[in-house]
Structure 1
Amino acid sequence: MDVHEVVEETLARLSDGDGVWISSFTAAELHARADEIDPARPLAGVPFAVKDNIDVAGLPTTAACPDFAYRPERNAPVVQRLLDAGAIAVGKTNLDQFATGLTGARSPYGSPESVFGGGLISGGSSSGSAVAVANGAVRFALGTDTAGSGRVPAALNGIVGIKPTRGLLSTLGVVPACRSLDCVSVFAPDLGTADRVMRTAAGPVAGDPWSRTGRRPLISAPRVGVPESLDFFGDAGQEKAFARFTGDVTVDIGPLLEAGDLLYRGPWVAERLADLDDFLKTHPDSVLPVTRRILETGYAFSAADAFRAQHRLRELRMAADWIWQKTDVLVLPTIGTTYTHAEIAEDPIGRNLNLGRYTQFANLLDMAAVTVPNGFTADGRPASLTLFGPAFSDETLMLFARSLTVNDSTAPPRTSPPAAAGGTTG
């Protein structure tokens, strides 16, 4: 398909779904970009979206807070690498304000619904990025993932979500949530596209103190672990969907869950204030009440609390590391249950914690993760798996993910994403 045809098809889909986009380039700007593209580049003509807490020159960065918005002078390095590879940045997508939440229902720009409808939440905080991929507006999208924001929306929209090892993708030019834990994530309709985007965007960036490199040996036949027990919050459909998957060994994930609890119930919530404290104090009414309520819990923690939590996390990390003595890949359901927007409105904080039950420990424990669809429940809701490994096991996780197949005739249809110019559809 000609690159200008790709642009036109993308433009035609920008109105699909309410609350997905915050801003976008004009048709003239996108066609001008198309004229500049070298067709020999690895991502030539591939349209993509960027979560609106990541800088894209020419568009404002809002973090879903209009009064916080600024206009960056340059692209975030991770965006620039994709542009250099020939991809076309279409615009900025909606998110839970300041990337604080897993529901997709915490934005003044609207609350996107899952592509599967029925009032189902899209998941957050990278809500718009996931929906823009799932509804076919773009071929891939960038999100961020601190507590599960690159995995929960993927699960709720039936797509692939990559939460790489911390530091593999630079977080320069990203509005911090928890700076020590933040990751840039990748959404795609398939593993091939996700892998190509990761290989293009990854690598150290000068001046980024959180940038890292590393690689573990590729394991072609990994030992696969599954939890000894799980809580599906009364959702028999999700429980049955996960039961379709079997592993080689069972493991105790208690240390992982306790570590995850430290993120929102411990002093790591105070790390969000390290970057947002001044804005929160000077513009309290600019922040959504639920977001402000969460951020303000950070004021209750002392420096001693922070050190105690760090000491406990070190103990939990040692316990978690024993998992990798008997397994190479740990497989969990991405989420234990799904919620509608109405259900989230009834209990926005408690049900948000449920959504993060099997995701929010990953960055605290320095794990890599890959989320893939796992068919559907009998009533048509999406199910999903997340594969975990230790830091720098990303290639093993991708290889194992490619070996998985889902055979579920209850799968509802989804719109196919647009083809990319030059045949680079993956």
Structure 2
Amino acid sequence: MVDDASWERALHGLAGELGMPVDGGVESGALAYARELHAAIDDLPDEAGDAPDPAGARSDDEYNAFLAVYDEPRTTESSGTLDGVSIAIKDNIAVRGLTMTCGSTDLSYVPSFDATVVERLLDEGARVVGKANMDAFAFGPAGEWSEFGRVHNPVAPGRVPGGTSSGSGVAAAAGLVDAALGTDTGGSVRVPAACCGLVGVKPSHHLVSRYGVVGNMPSTDTVGPLAPDVETATRVLDAIAGPDPRDPASVRPDAGPIAHSLGAFDSIRVGVVESTFDLVDDPVADAMAGVADALRGTEGITVTPVPVEIPETVEYAYSLMYGAEYAWLVEQSFATRGDGPRADPEWLRAFASPPFNTHVAERVLPGALVDRLTDGRSYAAARREAADFTDHLTEQFEHVDVLLTSTLRTLPPEYGAIQSAEDGLKYSLCKPFSLTGLPAVSVPAATVEGLPVGAQVIAPMFEDGRALQCARAIERVTEGGDA
């Protein structure tokens, strides 16, 4: 029971933070209605389901790709567009009965429900194998920060598998599953795809429901597939995309299945972001030049340079927004306030006191501190910078259909090479494009010194099919060959 003095102190403290006056009339009226609201909401039934007994067991695969797995893959339908397709689910996505850890050894939560994306996979006949390992609380980006141990890259031993969806990428690359789901906030699907020689899709923001997904940065969070080829990745994306009343922000243009458009283009105008060649290592730049040349020789495809510049301030904007938004989520027990996915009482209890490690703290605190000390002004400035960059890209789409860059700035690094947030910014080319909300696909483009190189294709908002069309064209003309 909260006493009267506590209510009054809380009201005056809140009013002071918000710069709102509290005279006698406001005080008495606000306190009376606040108590009425509290009593009414507190009497609502708790919708949280009973926690089920954990299903399955801890995996012992040689790559440490999986955490909890079912004794037998879970399936609910015997037909559908994904009939028989085996899929791994990143461990920050709720799967009923399988323990969720978010890559932290101190978190053990067994959801009583499936995330919307899992429901949709099962409805299409997919076979859910289990939960994939990940960098703790989706803070990467190398794939080295799971508290359950290092995840091993099956196609490039000794090199990082990429993060934060490291287990998802490795499970698909090693053939343990046909496809996997990851989450991509600033590259966490595209980076492991590039490191493991896979296709990785970051959908348009809001194309896929985030209900049942542990948030990271709500303004850019997405859920997307990793798969060995564009066709499989597209089928998985089709299955999970679309509006969901439990995530009111989710939408889908009425354009039909994306898979139908893969081979349906008459022409694609590809804009090569040549300014990024100065941001990447020479082997990656040479490989991307080879991709552009191969596309130039393909009927129906034109390739031209575009004057896109990536200001350094865009990457700083990402870091500030990331820290600020994550701090807000923590303060709210990972409930997204406003127009975002629903948070059930069960969810709020599970994430009331997350067990963060020092790596998470190092990533979050700088941006969160600046946001707090500037009373949100720096966050507003960062959002404006992101909007300006989005406008810059949108202008280019008046002349080209897609933009082309590399996914990473380097070949997959050796273990231990990525230690800080600054290292992470120098490692990939994903974060600036994440801020725009535009769809982006990483597709294998070449092999250099036995290591995979990924090409990144960016398309206009909700033109995910066009990005995948271009990715399919790259897949055909390069066949992942040596550069």
TM-score, with structure 1 as normaliser: 0.84
Counterpart pick for 1:341 among 396, 412, 415: 415
Give the alignment partner of residue 456 of structure 2, picking from 376, 383, 386. 386
Match of 1:328 among 393, 401, 404: 401
Alpha carbons 2:402, 2:458 under 8 Å: kept: yes
Higher relative contact order (CA 8 A, sep 6+): 1
The 5-angstrom pairing of residues 145-160 of structure 1 reads 145-160=184-199
**CA distances 1:171-226 after superposition (whole Å, capped 9, x unpaired):** 11000001121000100111111111111111101121220122679754121111
Larger Rg: 2
TM-aligned CA distance change 1:220 to 1:54, over 3 Å: farther
Say what the alpha-carbon RMSD is for the aligned residues.
2.5
2:393 aligned partner, one-letter code? A
Unaligned runs of 5+ residues in structure 2 are 1-55, 293-301, 335-350
How many Å apart are 1:91 and its aligned residue? 0.6
The aligned counterpart of 1:71 is: 110
Task: Provide the rounded CA distance (Å) in 2 between the counterparts of 1:382 and 1:255.
Answer: 24
Task: From 127, 131, 137, give the equivalent of 1:98.
Answer: 137
Q: In percent, how many aligned pairs have the same letter?
A: 32
Contact 1:232/1:336 (CA < 8 Å) preserved in 2?
no
Amino acid at match of 2:423: R
In 2: Cα distance, 1:371 partner to 1:408 partner: 12
- Counterpart code for 2:365: E
Q: Distance in 1 between matches of 2:113 and 2:65?
A: 24
Q: Which amino acid in 1 is paired with 2:322?
A: W
Q: How does 1:345-384 map to 2 (within 5 A)?
A: 347-356=419-428, 358-377=429-448, 379-384=449-454
- Aligned counterpart for 1:236 among listed residues 258, 277, 282: 282
Cα distance, 1:231–1:244 mapped onto 2, change above 3 Å: closer
**Candidates 250, 262, 265, aligned match of 2:305:** 250
TM-score by length of 2: 0.75
Query: Which residue does 2:69 correspond to in 1?
Result: 24
Distance 1:278 1:17, change over 3 A: farther
Kindly indicate whether the alpha-carbon contact (under 8 Å) linking 1:157 and 1:382 is maintained by their aligned counterparts in 2.
Answer: yes
Contact 2:82 2:126 in 1 (8 A): yes
Q: CA distance change for structure 1 residues 55 and 127 in 2, over 3 Å: closer, same or farther?
A: same
Alpha-carbon displacement from aligned partner over 1:133-175 (angstroms, at most 9, x marks no partner): 0000000100000101110000000011111111111111000
Structure 1 CA distance for aligned equivalents of residues 280 and 266 of structure 2: 36
Shift, 1:231, TM fit? 4.9
Task: Give, in whole Å, the separation in 2 of the partners of 1:204 and 1:102.
Answer: 29
Per-residue CA shift, 1:74-120, capped at 9, x if unaligned? Answer: 10011101111111111101111111221101110112122223310
Asked if the contact 1:54–1:174 (Cα under 8 Å) also holds between the matched residues in 2, the reply is yes
Distance 2:226 2:77 in 1: 23
Secondary structure at the residue paired with 1:254? coil
Aligned amino acid, residue 318 of structure 2:
L
**Using the alignment, how far apart are the partners of 2:276 and 2:445 within structure 1?**
17
| Aligned residue number for residue 271 of structure 1 | 325
> Match of 1:5?
none
Whether 1:403 aligns to 2:477 is no
